[in-house]
Every structure is written in C-alpha cells, then in structure tokens.
Structure 1
C-alpha cells in the first residue's frame, strides 16, 4: 500500500453523497465555522468579485453571495455540490480537489471551509488552488488541527484496546498548527498566516456526537480502517469515557485558519 495514500477517496465521496441528505442537521456548526473563516475578509480592503467555494456543503456559497461576490462551488460529491447551487441557481461543479479543472487565474478568492482534511496530496491541491487564483488573489482555508476530537480519539483507543485487544485508526490524523503556515509558504503563497479558532461542543446525549459526524460526511475514510463490524459494546464503552462538563459530554474542534495570497505578477 502506498504510504502517501492515507485516505480512501472513494469512501470520502460515498460519505459526502450520503451526507447531502443529512447535512442540514449540522448546519449551525458548519455556519459558525464558515463565518469565523469569512470574518478574515473584513481585515482587508481588497474587493473580491469571483470566488471558488471548495466543499462548502451549501453553507459557504450563500454567505459569499450575501457579500456581493459571485461564486462557483465545487465538491467531490455531485449530490453535495448540488446543495451549493440550490435554490438560487448558483454554479456548481463536481471536481476532485486533487485534480481541479479550473483554468489559471480564474478567481480572486478561494474559500475552503473544513474541506481539505480528507485529501491525500494536500500540497498538490494547494498548488492547484494558487494557480486558480489571479495575482493578488486570496486563499481562505480552514481545517481541523491537531487536538480536534482528541477526547473521542482517546476514548475510542482505550475502549477498543479494552474490548477487542487491539487498536485501529478511527479518527483522521490532523496537522499541527505550526505546520499550516509552512505548508502555505511551501506551496507558493505570499504572506502566509495560520491561527486557530477553538470551538467547544457539548452534548447532552453522547451518541449525538457520532450522529452529527456522520450527518456532516465525516465518517472514517482512513484506508487502514478496520473493515469488520466492531463489537457492539465498543462505541458505548468509548462514549462512556468522554469527559463531562456541566453534565454534558464535551469535545473540541481546533480549527486552523489559513490565509495566503497569490503572488503579484
């Protein structure tokens, strides 16, 4: 198995196809994350006219249109891409983030809200996004950073070891924050900046956490994931190990926010 192929892209597409019917259940969380990312637009006087929304799940495109920006939305899943085109007839394209079909200098803004973390060749995808930007164009991207769902990762590891006597990867690997700005610099962006937004999520019913991850299309797509049906006691045992805050289960989303500019000609 190629060690560089961490994720099963066919599984990512299937999960997003399925989630196109359920993603509305987590719209509030996705909108909060998208608004935090788009707040960076208020820090520049640059005006944007043509944006590419990558994997926005029907949340990002309307927020950009509210700012008077024209939007083309792309997604690996046809069903999920269609969410960004409806109901106002916006332009949507089915495209693999690792093989983008856009011509050079097509956009002056690219927005990727929590949509880059299932990509095997992230540097290659970022290079393609930079090329799709006009000189002086802006990339706004967010992705889960190391520490995201650490509570769930630890609980699943402990429970699987106790119940099944072995451990398999069940939560996606995430980058460290310090690596994100270096990644932008490495892929040719000017003025790279990465900072973190921490979102604490509380659940009265811990099962709702797993339900929301599935509804958002965030089911496990690691290539080396276990393919057998887990012991029926595994997930109850893991959820019982999650930390509790004010009587509710608490988990953390550490969102790395990355900004970089396409170099001027």
Structure 2
C-alpha cells in the first residue's frame, strides 16, 4: 500500500477488496443494503453503483457527519426489522460492547434470505504488541480490546439465528521499523483502545519501555513482523428455499468402512 498517506487506514481497502470478491460470488441482486462503517470510499462507491438503496451507519459522530451516515452503536441500531437484504460490516465487530446483541440486531434487520457479510481483526493478532505492553515497568491495565476467535464467531452466528454460517481467516504480516509506526497504523484503522473507562495515558518512560520491548522482537534486519488476522464471516437470515442439512443419522455410508485400508 505504498500509495497511501502515512496516516491512512491501510486495512480498509484490503478488507473492502476481499468483501467485494466474496460478494461477487453471490448470484443474486440486493436491493436494500446497510453498510456499517464507510471507511473505504471505493467500497461505498461500488455498493452505490449497483443501483440499490444504500444506508450508511457509523459509530463515530464526526465520520457520520462527513459521510451522511446514521450514527449510533451497532448493537442498538434503531431501524425497522427486515429492512435490508444485505448488511456489509467491514470491521468493528470486535469493538462492540455486546457482540451477541449486535448479531441479534443484524439478524432482525435482515429480510428472509438476507445476507450478513463482514470482517474484523480477530484472535491471534498483534502478538508482539501484546507482549510489549506487558513488559516490566509498565502499569498492568487493559489497553487492548479482547479479541474474538473463529470458533466463537461461528458459534455466535448459529446461536443468534443465522443459517449457513461461514467463517475463515486471512493472516496479514506487516513489518515495522518501530513501535510508534504500529501505533499510528492502529489509530488510523480505529484499532486503538476504546475501552471504558479509558486506561490512563502512558508515561514517557512507559512508552519508551514498550518501544524497546517491541524492538527486541525484531528480525535480523531490524524490523518487527506483526500479524493481523482478518476474520471473515457470513450468515443468512433463514428462508425455506435455502439448502438444509441432512437429518442426523440419515447417512447411508459408513465412515469406518471408508477409512479401512484397501487390500
């Protein structure tokens, strides 16, 4: 992403591209779309270009005002049930106060056979950053959001009423010359702490200790490889015409027989 400004959200276009690729494989039209987080202009423009009705929703008042989006918390969106046949959520689920409540709300907003398609930075991300902030001499307080793993989001999609849930992950490695460059990227991507109450600010000495602990994990060339695990998820609002799983116990083939070595 060399063409982006130094303070740009480099994750937004990457996530947008993968979501559009996945959406291109869905062979149906969507007339009413809800986009939660218009962080990538190309994604917004593409969805608008389809000729559908597009509603934007933002958690941040400043960004909502600049994009003409509705503003509020994703777990309490106040819109009529069944209003949308597609909800696109390119990042932010991991920062919601009530993740199950947010998914319940998404399910309620979808019309039958509507699709929820999203992504977020998930469990296993930023391992070197997490080790660095726990170094000696730094106050032990929560400074990073809890992370959601693959099994948790898959179970949550099922528990909140979604059919045909799909979850997978892409690992993105980004190499940093110092900890402060990583912090700039996290702030640009909206991944800095939004915990309430906010943790006390780092002292200059604490920041220096974290930066040194981060640098100590560098490769021989002096750069630190940090991993962002992008979790992609999708689920459908149930509809009678959707494929249904076979009834339990209805299989006619024996797995034991299939696994026997051939002679």
> Which residue of 1 is the match for residue 63 of structure 2?
80
Whole-angstrom distance in 2 between the partners of 1:82 and 1:153: 34
Whole-angstrom distance in 1 between the partners of 2:34 and 2:176: 34
What value does the CA root-mean-square deviation take over the aligned residues?
Answer: 2.3
Whole-angstrom distance in 1 between the partners of 2:220 and 2:153: 30
> Which residue of 1 is the match for residue 104 of structure 2?
127
> Which residue of 1 is the match for residue 249 of structure 2?
none
Deviations 1:20-71, CA, capped at 9 Å, x for gaps = xxx9932432111121122211222111122101123244322322444432
Q: Give structure 2 stretches of 5+ with no counterpart.
A: 241-263
> Which residue of 2 is the match for residue 192 of structure 1?
165
Any runs of at least 4 consecutive aligned residues in structure 1 with deviations exceeding 6 A, and if so which? none
Whole-angstrom distance in 1 between the partners of 2:220 and 2:118: 30
Whole-angstrom distance in 2 between the partners of 1:62 and 1:248: 36
1:169 maps onto 2:142 in alignment: yes
Q: Give structure 1 stretches of 5+ with no counterpart.
A: 1-22, 86-91
2:186 corresponds, among 207, 213, 226, to 213
Query: 1:180 touches 1:256 (CA, 8 Å); kept in 2?
Result: no
1:28 maps onto 2:10 in alignment: yes
> Which residue of 2 is the match for residue 146 of structure 1?
123
Deviation at 1:111, TM superposition (A): 0.8
Whole-angstrom distance in 2 between the partners of 1:126 and 1:62: 25
| TM-score of the two chains, using structure 2 as the length reference | 0.80
Select the structure of larger CA radius of gyration.
2
| TM-score of the two chains, using structure 1 as the length reference | 0.79
> Which residue of 2 is the match for residue 183 of structure 1?
156
**SS of the residue 1:194 aligns to:** strand
Residues 231-240 or 141-150, more deviating: 231-240
RCO (CA 8 Å, sep 6+): is it higher in 1 or 2?
Answer: 1
Query: 2:128 touches 2:226 (CA, 8 Å); kept in 1?
Result: yes
